[in-house]
Structure 1
Amino acid sequence: MAPRIALATTVEMTSPDIDETLILNHLPEAELAAWDDPTIDWSTYDLVVVRSTWNYAQRVDEFRLWAAGVAKQSTLVNPFATLLWNSDKRYLLDLKELELPVVPTTFVPAGHTPDASDLDGDVVIKPAVGAGSLGARRIRSDITEAQAHVQTLHEQGKVAMVQPYLEQVDRIGETAMVYLGGEFSHAARKAAILSGGDSGAAADALHAEEHIEPCEATLAERYVADAVVASLPGVPHTGGPLPYARVDLLPTEDGPVILELELIEPSLFLQVSDGAAERAAQAIRRCLP
């Protein structure tokens, strides 16, 4: 019998996203299946690939339980331990421990008050568990407003994270470095979501709209992103090469720094690179047991 592959999405998705559409064209043994559909028997699949589960951050405990259950019934990718680790942006502390260049970040758990110096200037405040720009706010030199947003996140039971707004992103943009099967595939340039306003995705949105263009990765961007991906087997939460990973980099005068490492449900921007959809399908197929 031919293997069965599920591309995990959500019941809130009314139609496949462009990545899923392109992958399905090259992976006929795959089909879409919503992670939050209780009628699905995940044991009937040989491989379950987490893709557009874009509402997981609002239901993170439920999502983690789902992923743990699927991992006991099928082969789950990215692996459960990887998903668990990557679902909380405090993984940035692990990357920093590996001496990788990370955007300066202060994490503020509930019950703690951030230092005023951390909130001074042009800053971005967002939840440590979140997808896309949901819950993110850019606050310009207003400590009172910044403290209020931290408090709002705490009242929602979330850990707040504070980062300086790196203004070069307004001119250059954010670079998404996409890896398929552990190998660099392509890069895409994303316009700064928070450049023109204070907020990212709306509270009821699955994700924020992004302006994407193909781009040629610089040598510095390759150096940093390659180092991140090379470090993953050394982080105890991952095994061998992952079928997909996305490293998001921001420009600074001293070179690119890591904004996020996306290992759960990143858009892979397959449409911007010839052959990327085929490479993604091959990387997924290699995960079959």
Structure 2
Amino acid sequence: MKIAFATYSKSPDINYGPNVRDDLLASALRRQGIAVDGAPWDDSTVDWSKFDGVVLRTTWNYHLRLHDFIKWMNALKLLGVKVFNAPEVVAWNCSKKYLLELQQKGVAIPATRLVSRRTEPVPRFSDIMKRFSVDASRSVVIKPCVSLCAYETHLVPFKDADKFQAKFEQMVRERDVLLQEFVPEIKTSGEWGLVYLNKVYSHAVLKLAKTGDFRVQHFHGGTVRHGTPSRAVRDFCDNVMSRLPDDLLYARVDVIQRDDGTVLLMEVELIEPTLFFDADSSGHSATVLADEIAHRLYQ
């Protein structure tokens, strides 16, 4: 058996970087006799037919070429190559509109408004903020529906709404966008990321933004520490997982717990989530996932 960890052309090899440590997963697979290579999804010279399976791992430019990315996954399916997670699940998870679907199923998210691409006339940014009951001390986060690593994500204070109008109009001309109330606890308490393997809880990390920022990704100076989430966080994330497709190889559920105890869903990462193998206190998560990949390959 031979599988590929799908990467991208700017970083084609299996990632050994901070927090990602996909080398731990690759080593666990090789111990089972499964060969593993890194292969960029956007490299047209790769012969994907030589792989029995493809695990999406560090495809960190898919948001810039979404049509090509989905086309590539569907081509793998036609070749008979197993893809994890499944292409139809990935296509659903590519757009953050899924948050609104989960909200309709009873999952709490920050107050959110979708503004579709090329909406005419483009609404006043300040008017949208007022609908969130935002006062002069509050802010709104605006982000593309298709993005990763806080790409084109902006934190806009109410007082700067009119100044941001031109940028807002530009974004709406190019893409669907989401506006969300800013949850200030992300600066003070951080964001929990709970990792699930085969839909079973594995471990968790607390992601913290650097001083003066709100973005928790390490690309923006964020830091990570292993931790044990509260019972409320764990129950909330278990509930989110129960509302997702059954056949998930891996998932990460990112949430914020407000000071009043309320838990809000920020993201469900089903495409290429950092799984924080090196933050797993048991040290078994890479082996557990390797076992599950092997089981699915041999089915």
TM over 0.5: yes
Measured after TM superposition, the shift of residue 21 of structure 1 is 1.2
What is the CA–CA distance in structure 2 between the aligned matches of 1:259 and 1:198, rounded to whole Å? 13
Given candidates 25, 41, 44, the residue that maps to 2:27 is 25
Given candidates 190, 208, 220, the residue that maps to 1:191 is 208
Measured after TM superposition, the shift of residue 283 of structure 1 is 2.6
AA partner of residue 145 (structure 1): K
Measured after TM superposition, the shift of residue 207 of structure 1 is 5.2
AA partner of residue 191 (structure 2): E
Given candidates 1, 7, 10, the residue that maps to 1:9 is 7
Match of 2:249 in 1: 243
Aligned residues: 275
The alignment status of 1:81 with 2:98, answered yes or no, reads no
AA partner of residue 46 (structure 1): D
Matches within 5 A, 1:64-213: 64-73=70-79, 74-112=81-119, 113-114=122-123, 116-119=126-129, 120=134, 121-141=138-158, 142-155=160-173, 157-192=174-209, 196-197=212-213, 208-213=220-225
What is the CA–CA distance in structure 1 between the aligned matches of 2:127 and 2:227, rounded to whole Å? 36
| TM, length-normalised to structure 2 | 0.86
SS in 2 for 1:27: helix
What is the CA–CA distance in structure 2 between the aligned matches of 1:94 and 1:269, rounded to whole Å? 27
What is the CA–CA distance in structure 1 between the aligned matches of 2:289 and 2:78, rounded to whole Å? 24
Measured after TM superposition, the shift of residue 12 of structure 1 is 0.8
Q: State the Cα RMSD in Å.
A: 2.1
| TM, length-normalised to structure 1 | 0.89
What is the CA–CA distance in structure 1 between the aligned matches of 2:221 and 2:55, rounded to whole Å? 23
Identity %: 29
The alignment status of 1:62 with 2:68, answered yes or no, reads yes
Q: Deviations over 1:157-205 (max 9, x none)?
A: 2111111111111111000010011100001000136x6248888xxxx
Match of 2:296 in 1: 287
Measured after TM superposition, the shift of residue 267 of structure 1 is 0.5
AA partner of residue 171 (structure 2): L
AA partner of residue 204 (structure 2): A
What is the CA–CA distance in structure 2 between the aligned matches of 1:72 and 1:123, rounded to whole Å? 43
Match of 1:228 in 2: 240
Measured after TM superposition, the shift of residue 57 of structure 1 is 0.5
Measured after TM superposition, the shift of residue 117 of structure 1 is 4.1
Q: Deviations over 1:76-125 (max 9, x none)?
A: 11001001000000011110111111122111112333463432431111
AA partner of residue 25 (structure 1): S
What is the CA–CA distance in structure 2 between the aligned matches of 1:224 and 1:57, rounded to whole Å? 28
Measured after TM superposition, the shift of residue 148 of structure 1 is 3.0
Measured after TM superposition, the shift of residue 154 of structure 1 is 2.1
Cα 1:165/1:259, change in 2 over 3 Å: same
AA partner of residue 111 (structure 1): R
Higher mean alpha-carbon deviation, 87-96 vs 97-106, is at 97-106
Unaligned residue ranges in structure 2 (runs of 5+): none
Q: Deviations over 1:19-43 (max 9, x none)?
A: 3111111111222111011111212
Higher mean alpha-carbon deviation, 115-124 vs 250-259, is at 115-124
SS in 2 for 1:246: strand
Match of 2:50 in 1: 44
Q: Deviations over 1:61-89 (max 9, x none)?
A: 11111111112211111001001000000
SS in 1 for 2:179: strand
